[in-house]
Structure 1
Amino acid sequence: MNPDVAKKLSLILEKTTKESNDFHLVNSIEQGVIEGFHTFSNGMNSFGGFLISNGSETLWVLIIDWKGDNNYYLVLYPENNNLPPLAELHKETTSQDGTDLTWSYIPRKKDKKNEIRKELFQNVFGALKAVVSLPNDDVTLDDTLNDLFHIAACRVLADNLEENLNSLTPVSFSEGKRLEKKHYSRERSQALVNRAKKFTQRSTRVNYPVKFVSLILRKNMVKKELYILKLTTRYL
Structure 2
Amino acid sequence: MKDKFISKYWGYLFLLIPIILQVIFFYLPTIRGVIFSFTNWTGLTDNYDYIGFKNYTAIFSDPKFIKTIKFTIIFTIGMILGQVSIGILVARALNAKLRTSNFFRGVFFFPAVIATVTIGMIFKQIFAYGIPLIGETFHIDFLKENLLSNPKTVVYAVLFVALWQGVATPTIIFLAGLQSIPQEILEAAAIDGASKRQIFKRQIASPS
TM-score, structure 1 as length reference: 0.23
TM-score, structure 2 as length reference: 0.25
Greater Rg, structure 1 or structure 2? 1
Q: Which has the higher contact order (CA 8 A, sep 6+)?
A: 2
Higher helix content, 1 or 2: 2
